[in-house]
Structure 1
């Protein structure tokens, strides 16, 4: 176990880096020491780390050579995740890679194999699973408090910021991996299967590009689970009213869950439980604990691969206009 705070290196200083830096400067200040950042735009890296004392590098190689860096967070465009994660693991650094884990299952497999070969810790950033609201719902569902689960409805509705479309990699499926359905909706797919605790058997999906600015903005999918329950999932990147929420339709109650509250609907007045939005902070804290203690990974690569496999199966269903059946789980 480490005697001092582990040193964290941030790889990529785009929009999402600001969220991580806020957590590192605030609720996670006693969990990590921000050791270094790297970005091709060195001036941008200097700006986002101003006042932190972190070293600034213009290349991944320089950051990985820094002995003060114990772990890295990979915040690059999706198609570069494997290209940064594999060298970091080979350098003996623990890695937290943002979702989606990669754009292909082959890249996921290479990342997982490298972690197994080197013994370095690999974690995938699926923030929803670390939110206190979702964990509370998970625990109560598992304890049987809600009755048998019949259906999960997932909503991923956003008004996408116009500046997203100024980033070329987000506009092309080969560099992003997909559009709204993958980039944002992978959280919903992952948490729905996690909450259900069941294996998907088939999926049927329709995914659309409505305005030509992204690979896709709108989609809907139904997944059948081995226990008989269903997952219904929709995305809308052009929504005038945002909604990022899960609804659990159970035998005894209907439960709505989002980042800040759980609402349990019974025959009487609903029970409302409020939470703080703490997903990124909890994710970074658990990553730090795993680094200090030498593992295990709070969210292993195999589970990040599963989420990508499900998203890609949805795209395949849309392409073929047919149900995609899983003769074997797509994450094995």
Structure 2
């Protein structure tokens, strides 16, 4: 079988990093943590070209990966790259506010598989034209909210769906670090809250980081400087009556976690662990840890084989653009709530 020709636009760390290979494991290799490493770990693809306006980034990428793809080409114009390379898959890994034109161009050229970095866009108009272009041209558009391919988070959702703990009542998402930025890392946390709540946001109230009264629309620099993108505290009511709590703070303590409270227990999940907490009484709680297994197709390593599988066999994506739009709309609703003095904002946004 011929391999799918793949290209990447945007060569920052998320696009082009190469994880160190673990010592003593020459066969298995490191888990993918970037778009280039995701294609490296998928034998059904061949990365044929990359694109970035920055000469240093582009040349560094070609040098970093030359032992894997000695014929890898570099471009400064993604349209020229599309013309010459005729790709089957394109990754758009540029700054947050620059995704739309590139995705629409790829869709209108009928490139069959498109992977877009999160957030899908920074305005609903951009998200809608991306979705419309993909649907009109019959192409797949997956958005890289990477925890949707993480086994612990998938297992957490199955625990909720299984019903053994009763109905899900609340979902809390917490993110702490100096990069607890709403549109950069925060989009992961909010998307996973929606994923675990398994419902559509109905309304929200929110308060942004102090000093961001001007942030009534996206005004960051593409996700680079934390001082340009606020943290947020928010309360979300979902249409299925689940209540969501968002707790971000820019502090030195790093990490993020999600807690789902059900009638009969609590699920705690993070990149580090998954456990279920139950209690027979106020003072007696028990914890059941679930092993955090490692798989080849997880995190970044999940989106490439999945989109190929759906392309070949049909079915749905775990992180389609329509789901990513919900995350964007919720974040924009938080901005509107803050602008209105932390007032309730209903969805859909008018």
- Scaled to the shorter chain, the TM-score interval is 0.7 to 0.9
Change in CA separation of 1:227 and 1:87 when aligned onto 2, cut-off 3 Å: closer
1:202–1:323 contact (8 Å) kept in structure 2 = no
Question: 1: distance between equivalents of 2:164 and 2:192?
Answer: 19
1:242 to 246, 250, 254: 254
How many aligned positions are there? 307
Matched, 1:81 2:82: no
Q: Any stretches of 5+ residues in structure 1 without a counterpart?
A: 161-178
Partner of 1:270, secondary structure, is strand
1:147 to 158, 162, 166: 166
Partner of 1:307, secondary structure, is helix
Question: 2: distance between equivalents of 1:307 and 1:87?
Answer: 23
Question: 1: distance between equivalents of 2:182 and 2:170?
Answer: 20
Question: 2: distance between equivalents of 1:226 and 1:127?
Answer: 25
Matched, 1:14 2:12: yes
1:100-131, Cα deviation, whole Å (9 max, x unpaired): 11111001111111112211221111112111
1:56 to 64, 71, 74: 74
Question: 2: distance between equivalents of 1:105 and 1:86?
Answer: 14
Instruction: After superposing the two structures, state which structure 1 stretch, 263-272 or 137-146, moved more.
Output: 263-272
Question: 2: distance between equivalents of 1:102 and 1:228?
Answer: 27
Question: 1: distance between equivalents of 2:140 and 2:226?
Answer: 37
Partner of 2:275: 263
Partner of 1:319: 339
After superposition, where does 1:134-173 map in structure 2 within 5 Å? 134-160=153-179
Change in CA separation of 1:294 and 1:67 when aligned onto 2, cut-off 3 Å: farther
After superposition, where does 1:1-332 map in structure 2 within 5 Å? 3-17=1-15, 18=17, 19-25=34-40, 28-50=41-63, 51=66, 52-53=69-70, 54-93=72-111, 94-160=113-179, 180-209=181-210, 214-236=227-249, 238-267=250-279, 268-275=285-292, 276=294, 278-293=298-313, 296-326=316-346, 329-330=348-349
Structure 1 position 295, deviation (Å): 6.1
Structure 1 position 65, deviation (Å): 1.3
Output the TM-score relative to the length of structure 2: 0.81
Question: 2: distance between equivalents of 1:192 and 1:261?
Answer: 17
Structure 1 position 46, deviation (Å): 2.9
Structure 1 position 193, deviation (Å): 1.6
Output the TM-score relative to the length of structure 1: 0.85
1:260–1:274 contact (8 Å) kept in structure 2 = no
1:6–1:291 contact (8 Å) kept in structure 2 = no
Change in CA separation of 1:297 and 1:63 when aligned onto 2, cut-off 3 Å: farther
Q: Any stretches of 5+ residues in structure 2 without a counterpart?
A: 18-33, 213-224, 280-284
